[in-house]
Amino acid sequence: MPSPFPGMDPYLEDRFLWPDVHSSLIAYIRENLQPQIRPRYVARIGERIQLAESRHSYVPDVLLLHQMREPAPTLAIAGEMVADEPQTTTYFDEERHVPYIEIIQRDTGEVVTVIEVLSPANKAGDGRDQYLQKQAELLDTKANLVEIDLLGYGQPTVPARNTIITEPAGWRYLINTSRADRRKQLEFYAVPLWERFPRCRIPLWPPDPDVVLDLPAVFTRCYDVGGYDLLIDYSQPPDVPLSEAELVWLQETLANQTLRVSQNP
């Protein structure tokens, strides 16, 4: 069953669904681009390691919870109350492997374009700081950078979110491109919740022309293969912040689709 929305499904912005959505988007973006860039270029999926402290993490960390085997000794003083025994926890930093796409020049192996799909951890706390550092490093190279931000919450992370964008009104999602030969000129697609995804220009190295990322087709494949219609309860509002206009539109859209409102069997 297809998504009930013409573009992004805000229910997929949920922090517990997003890791699977993110991995699928990366895989299908590569699949969409590969035939267009062969044989001069190759799209590869890379991974960078990111450590996230549990207090900032959006994915449950590994925490071992147990009672103390033997009570810790306390000083016995007649007539004084005895402390209850606490539980203890063993804390581990979470090591995340964050996938992204890099388009390389086949003959030289040089990185031509990096495509990032942002996650909640990239827009808050230590994860955002780490991402901004990596972003700055990439912008100091001769690689193009394409950032796809399909999350309508969190701190601004991609450069275009820090600019004034008046059209279209009520935009929520952003695809931001920084070309290596035009760093001071940002290209972006601003997308409201109620509009379809754009078909985006993906730059290569001049004089080679841009290729087209068919983001609507990528998302449709992601939704269908992921079986999200079986996981989402469309009779309940999504667990992400929405503006009043977005919430009204969402309710009207779902009200016109009784199968969604009554929940899939």
**Mean pLDDT across 226-244:** 94
Q: Please tell me the predicted confidence (pLDDT) of residue 140.
A: 94
Q: 216 and 197 in contact (C-beta within 8 Å)?
A: yes
* Cα(198)–Cα(31) distance, integer angstroms: 17
113 pairs with which residues across the strands?
103, 144
| DSSP string covering 105-124 | ETTT--EEEEEEE--GGGGS
pLDDT at 87: 65
> Taking 70 as the threshold, does the pLDDT of residue 99 lie above it?
yes
Strands 199-202 and 87-91: unpaired
CA distances from 137 to 68, 140, 142 (A): 46, 5, 10
Query: Whole-angstrom Cα distance, residue 168 to residue 34?
Result: 31
Pairing label, strands 144-149, 111-117: parallel
Q: How confident is the model at residue 48 (pLDDT cuts 50, 70, 90)?
A: confident
Q: Which helix (H) or strand (E) holds 178?
A: strand 171-178
Domain residue ranges in the chain: 10-261
Top pLDDT among 97 and 220 is at 220
Any residues with CB less than 8 A from the CB of 137 and at least 6 apart, and which? Answer: none
The pLDDT confidence band at residue 77, using thresholds 50, 70 and 90, is: low
Separation of alpha carbons 223 and 228, rounded Å = 6
Q: What is the pLDDT of residue 52?
A: 52
Distance CA(114)–CA(204), nearest Å, equals 10
Is residue 129 scored above 60 in pLDDT? yes
Res. 112: pLDDT tops 50: yes
More confident: 136 or 67: 136
* pTM, entire model: 0.81
Residue 40 scores a pLDDT above 90 = yes
User: Is the per-residue pLDDT at 78 higher than 90?
Assistant: no
- Give the model's pLDDT for residue 240: 95
Q: Residue 61: is its pLDDT beyond 90?
A: no
* Cα separation, 197 vs 175, whole angstroms: 10
**What is the structure's pLDDT at 93?**
47
Q: Using the predicted structure, report yes or no on whether residue 184 has a pLDDT greater than 60.
A: yes
What is the per-residue pLDDT for 167? 92
What does the block give as tokens for 119?
Answer: 């996650």
Name which of 18-27, 52-61, 97-106, 157-166 the model is least confident about.
Answer: 52-61
Kind plus residue range of the DSSP H or E element containing 64: strand 63-67
Q: What is the pLDDT of residue 90?
A: 47
The mean of the pLDDT values for the chain is: 85
State the Cα–Cα distance between residues 259 and 254, nearest whole angstrom. Answer: 9
- At residue 262 the predicted structure's pLDDT band, cuts being 50, 70 and 90, is very low
CA distance 94 to 56: 10
The confidence score (pLDDT) of residue 221 equals 96
Q: 176 has which bridge partners? A: 147, 188
pLDDT at 108: 95
Model confidence at 205, pLDDT cuts 50, 70, 90, reads very high
Q: What is the pLDDT of residue 216?
A: 97
Question: Which of 46-50, 131-135, 165-169, 218-222 is least confident?
Answer: 46-50
